[in-house]
Amino acid sequence: MPIKKAAIYIRVSTDAQAEEGYSVEAQKEQLTAYCVSKRIKHYELYIDGGWSGSNLARPEIQRLIQDVKDNKISHVIVFKLDRLSRSQKDTLYLIEDVFNPHDVSFVSLNESMDTSTPMGRLMIGILSAFAQLERENIRLRTRMGMKERVKAGYWMGGGKIPFGYDYDSEDGILVPNKDAEKVKQVYALYIAGKSPQVIANLLGLKYEKLVTQILIRKCNYGVIEYNGEIYQGKHEPIISKETYDMAMKCMYERKAVRANSTEHLLTGLVYCGKCGAKMRYIKWGGQGYKFMCYSQQKSKPYLVKDPDCDQPKISAEEVETMVKNAIFEFADNYALDKEDKIIEPEDTISLLLSQKEILEKKIKRLYNIYAESENSILLDTINDLQKQLEKINNQIDFEEQNSNILQLREEKNIILSTVKDIWDILSVQEQKTIIRKLIDKIIITDAHITINFSI
């Protein structure tokens, strides 16, 4: 029988490389000293340098697991429990499902424990739970700190820096660079009617997708978008908000034109279920049109998700027929409860706007008085009125959004109640409009079709 060896496992995460006591050399020194003190002559080092302990996707821990399963290991020795893993689930898996079934003892120097004893096994469970709790707390604190940082107007840091900016790590803000002029030109050319591909060619940009990425990036007009929220940034804007809004309006209008510029019913809605790429209509000899995955067409490499995608081409006519039948079936099964019927509300927005106007006049009048007397009581009153004004503005935003949602629902209800009766007399463009109001996405996997309705 081959002699079993002790496994000395060392892990240093990327954010702890310089942390005293956690370096590779520091751990190696103490762990090998332990082996000498216990007269363990045969040991091997397993070192994961620069790897997080949040999961087991580490090369050396995987090699260690395999050696344990091959009955080559007698002990696993670590400097500290969280060096093995910061996940309670992974720690217990290693001990209960890997080490114990192969009679491998687990030793942690820092916690002075040995799984060969019942108390050692109990302590492992308790400490691994604390290790995971600390990891989750770190993640929560990081997220909260990042949000506060962004709210204060500082860039998130790390990741990809927006085209046209450099990141000043000392001040924590974005700084326009030599490409900022190109960003301005992108907006100017797009608003003037040039396509993203033409703009990319004119400005020497790599591909048309970069042009679109520049156009939709809100930081270009001086704000920072984080988790769906918009915050005013400290960085210098490259363009004005008006320029951004005009570009977005042009983009919306062009999408509508493109959608209506073809007789194909499902353009832009069909996706490959195998690789996730979009699918397009392609002329197929005398058989009409078929849908083909963009991963199989190399002319637009940025649309390729998997160059080896084997999604078969499928008859476009068959897909269109299935979609039409699915809409009819959905309409038959769609029942609008009486409680859900749209009731015309009172003109709340007008009422709120009236209240807002009164408050703004009061605040302006009090500011004029305060400018003359600087009475602190007046300032308190102004602050109270400002809070009331903020609440009214929030209510106005809510009511406007709610009104848009109600109108959209009513429109879809009308479509579903009449679609079967009017479908055959509609033009292709009108049918396309209805399909886009009812369907978000169509996914084709081999010959199976999944339709995601937007209701």
Catalytic residue numbers, as ranges: 13
CA angle 250, 254, 256 (to 5 degrees): 120
Backbone phi, psi, residue 165, to 5°: -130, 155
CA angle 176, 179, 181 (to 5 degrees): 85
How many Cα atoms within 13 Å fall on the side-chain side of residue 394? 6
3-state secondary structure of 115: coil
Cβ atoms within 10 Å, residue 126:
11
Calpha distance 363→372 (Å, rounded): 15
* Concatenated DSSP letters of 200-216: HHHHT-S-HHHHHHHHH
Cβ atoms within 10 Å, residue 453:
13
Question: In this structure, what token pair is assigned to residue 145?
Answer: 């700190």
CB 265 within 8 A of CB 428: yes
Cβ atoms within 10 Å, residue 34:
18
CA diameter of the chain: 97
Calpha distance 149→172 (Å, rounded): 9
Compute the residue count for the chain.
Answer: 455
Calpha distance 77→10 (Å, rounded): 9
Report in angstroms the alpha-carbon separations of 244 from 78, 151, 160: 55, 21, 21
Calpha distance 53→439 (Å, rounded): 43
How many Cα atoms within 13 Å fall on the side-chain side of residue 143? 6
* Concatenated DSSP letters of 9-78: EEEE-GGGTTSTT-SHHHHHHHHHHHHHHTT---EEEEEEET--SSSS--HHHHHHHHHHHTT-EEEEEE
